[in-house]
């Protein structure tokens, strides 16, 4: 099980590779996990948006956890599982099942779409954290339809069982408003704001772009840890246009296209309603690898 001390460094939200018939491609998945864990990442995140969680059945999530553990072959790489919904009862149930399947922690998003009161949200997370599986809060207003106040975030962070926050608010405003002392760790969830949030005290990031630019993002993180901020900024500036390309169209379609181009997965198939990237973006992304871009 994860503790607050473990919520640092680079966590990679994993994709779910599919065969052309939309069944999970387990051969590609094992190859993909082995490729990621050849780097010194601090954790893997299963069943997030990057993994197409809305279209993945919970029985498949359980298989993904077990297949990940098998691919790791006793290597110590923590597994965080997305388990949040906009129903408290189903969130609690999924957290219980994630824990039973061997998750080291769960990632629980602010309840989306139904726009509950902040009092309701606090009770939602109190019950979720009470299950006993370490919980990372996930604040992403662009997808939930509401932004929590700083006071509510602080109250949620104080709950027993909550070990940190993934901040995908789109800027460093939230983290800069939180006290640096006696505050649980915050991971950046917006790839383009990674360096800014590290400057404000973030302990690392859960970054979709780390699927491709793993070593480069690890380097940026380490430079900041070493106090070499100008070097970190320069290194991140080189990455920025390539990260921007990954989010020109909905994640994880561009990621899957590039992973397939590199033969890390066999197909860039997505499950509807997600679909392949446009031909225009395909041509742009192909140029990245035709030119052997490296960092």
By annotation, the residues acting in catalysis are 138, 166
CA dihedral of 43, 47, 50, 54, whole degrees rounded to 10: -170
Report CA torsion sign: 198, 249, 61, 116: positive
Q: Which residues contact 80 (CB under 8 A, 6 or more apart)?
A: 2, 11, 43, 44, 45, 46, 103, 104, 105, 106, 107, 136
Which residue is listed with tokens 């990031």? Answer: 205
Please work out, in degrees rounded to the nearest 5, the angle formed at the alpha carbon of residue 152 by the alpha carbons of 43 and 111: 65
- Greatest alpha-carbon pair distance for the chain in Å reads 52
Give how far the C-alpha of residue 144 lies from the chain's centroid of Cα atoms, to the nearest Å: 16
């Amino acid at each position: 099980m994860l503790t607050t001390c473990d919520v640092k460094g680079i966590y990679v939200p994993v994709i779910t590779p599919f065969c052309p018939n939309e069944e999970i491609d387990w051969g590609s998945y094992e190859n993909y996990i082995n490729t990621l864990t050849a780097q010194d990442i601090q954790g893997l995140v299963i069943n997030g948006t990057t993994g197409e969680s809305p279209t993945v059945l919970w029985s498949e999530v359980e298989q993904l956890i077990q297949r990940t553990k098998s691919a790791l072959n006793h290597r110590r790489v923590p597994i965080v599982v997305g388990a949040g919904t906009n129903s408290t009862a189903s969130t609690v149930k999924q957290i219980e099942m994630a824990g039973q399947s061997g998750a080291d922690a769960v990632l629980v998003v602010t309840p989306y779409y139904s726009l509950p009161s902040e009092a309701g949200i606090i009770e939602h997370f109190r019950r979720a954290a009470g299950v006993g599986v370490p919980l990372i809060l996930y604040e992403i207003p662009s997808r939930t339809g509401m932004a929590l106040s700083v006071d509510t975030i602080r109250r949620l962070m104080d709950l027993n069982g909550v070990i940190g926050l993934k901040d995908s608010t789109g800027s460093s405003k939230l983290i800069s408003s939180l006290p640096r002392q006696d505050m649980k760790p915050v991971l950046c969830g917006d790839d383009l704001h990674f360096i800014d949030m590290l400057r404000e005290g973030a302990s690392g990031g859960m970054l979709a772009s780390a699927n491709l630019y793993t070593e480069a993002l690890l380097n940026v993180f380490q430079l900041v840890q070493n106090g070499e901020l100008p070097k970190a900024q320069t290194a991140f500036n080189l990455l920025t246009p390539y990260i921007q390309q990954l989010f020109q169209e909905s994640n994880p379609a561009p990621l899957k296209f590039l992973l397939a181009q590199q033969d890390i997965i066999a197909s860039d198939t997505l499950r509807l309603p997600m679909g392949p990237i446009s031909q225009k973006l395909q041509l742009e992304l192909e140029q990245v690898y035709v030119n052997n871009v490296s960092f």
